[in-house]
């Protein structure tokens, strides 16, 4: 089993947060992740300290050498996708190829309103999530010279992202529990699903739903790897033709005989590391501590 550490509330003290990610790096943890909020979560009136996710993860990248680095998850209503792509590309270089990208439709309307950020209802935010994931995939792809995408909420036109990320495929996780939109988006656009804060029964049900969405994308895919934990992230390799194995808790997914396909993900302990053969597009499901 592989494990990681997630900071759910970014209130510090900052010196203690630094000790935490250094501890994770020095003691065999596989990932470290932060939450993406501008005030305390859950809301407590807004008077508590809360450090910003990107800046914090950058500091963690400079202080560590082994753990994977991510957020559970970046809210698509808070940043332009081009800005997030540039930020994560920079962290990928600073960390020598250890960053992951977690995306979600968001839920903390209190902070969005406080900072003057448009925060539509869940339907439009799910639309935003789908567009965002597609743009991130284009901008983070080392083989894409320029990115073009025209959506209702986001668009990029002949957009460059240089330097390219060090990783051949930065894993994209989609977080959330919605069965009709979020799990479908994870199967269609992501490498992993982040389903935090659910018990074993609900977790099994969500996994079954995700299996069906993955099967709808590629009916011939018969294998999946998943992790179970009180707040875990599972990876569904439903698009992968390679047989997989699964283990309990925030674990690392690996194909039999391979060293590690999953570089563990921030918050769940399990991450997908793409194989050099980029022809195999995997959809993974995760149940980690790195959702919000």
Is residue 244's pLDDT more than 50? no
Distance (Å, whole) CA 134 – CA 279: 17
Helices (H) and strands (E) in the chain, counts: 7, 9
Q: If pLDDT is split at 50, 70 and 90, which confidence band does 216 have? A: confident
Q: Which residues pair with 147 in a beta bridge?
A: 159
Q: Looking at 56-65, 116-125, 191-200, 245-254, which range is the least confident one?
A: 245-254
Q: If pLDDT is split at 50, 70 and 90, which confidence band does 63 have? A: very high
Owner of token pair 């439903």:
238
Distance (Å, whole) CA 267 – CA 165: 22
Q: Which of 280, 101, 85 is nearest to 192 (CA)?
A: 101
How do strand 155-159 and strand 147-150 relate by DSSP bridges? antiparallel
Mean pLDDT score of the chain, rounded to an integer? Answer: 78
**Residue 221: how many other CB atoms lie within 10 Å:** 18
Distance (Å, whole) CA 103 – CA 120: 17
What backbone torsions phi and psi does residue 121 show, to the nearest 5 degrees? -70, 170
User: In the structure encoding, which two tokens stand for residue 266, read together?
Assistant: 């921030």
Distance (Å, whole) CA 265 – CA 281: 18
Is residue 81's pLDDT more than 90? yes
| Helix, strand, coil % over all residues of the chain, rounded to 5 | 30, 15, 55
Quote the pLDDT of residue 218: 52
Quote the pLDDT of residue 1: 58
Q: Looking at 66-70, 142-146, 227-231, 250-254, which range is the least confident one?
A: 250-254
Percent of the chain surpassing pLDDT 90? 60
Owner of token pair 């050498």:
65
Q: Which residue has the higher pLDDT, 194 or 92?
A: 92
Q: Which residues pair with 159 in a beta bridge?
A: 147
Domains, the chain, with CATH or none: 4-217 (3.20.20.30)
């Amino acid at each position: 089993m592989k494990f990681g550490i997630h900071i759910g509330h970014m209130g510090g003290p900052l010196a203690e947060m630094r000790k935490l990610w250094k501890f994770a790096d020095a003691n065999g943890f596989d990932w470290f992740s932060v939450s993406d909020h501008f005030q305390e979560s859950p809301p407590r009136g807004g008077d508590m300290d809360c450090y910003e996710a990107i800046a914090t993860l950058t500091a963690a990248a400079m202080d560590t050498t082994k753990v994977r680095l991510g957020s559970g998850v970046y809210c698509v209503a808070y940043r332009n996708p081009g800005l997030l792509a540039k930020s994560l590309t920079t962290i990928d270089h600073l960390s020598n190829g250890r960053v992951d990208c977690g995306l979600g439709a968001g839920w903390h309307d209190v902070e969005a309103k406080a900072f003057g950020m448009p925060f539509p209802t869940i339907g439009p935010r799910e639309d935003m999530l789908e567009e965002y994931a597609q743009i991130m995939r284009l901008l983070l792809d080392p083989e894409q010279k320029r990115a073009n995408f025209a959506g209702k909420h986001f668009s990029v036109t002949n957009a460059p992202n240089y330097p390219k990320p060090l990783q051949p495929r930065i894993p994209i996780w989609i977080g959330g529990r919605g069965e009709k939109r979020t799990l479908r988006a994870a199967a269609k656009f992501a490498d992993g699903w982040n389903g935090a804060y659910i018990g074993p029964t609900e977790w099994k049900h969500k996994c079954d739903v995700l299996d069906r969405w993955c099967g709808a994308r590629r009916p011939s895919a018969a294998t999946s790897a998943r992790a179970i934990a009180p707040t875990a992230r599972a990876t569904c390799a439903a698009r992968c033709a390679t047989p997989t194995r699964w283990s309990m808790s925030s674990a690392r997914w690996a194909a039999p005989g391979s060293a590690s396909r999953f570089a563990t993900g921030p918050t769940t302990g399990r991450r997908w590391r793409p194989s050099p053969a980029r022809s195999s597009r995997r959809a993974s499901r995760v149940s980690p501590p790195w959702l919000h």
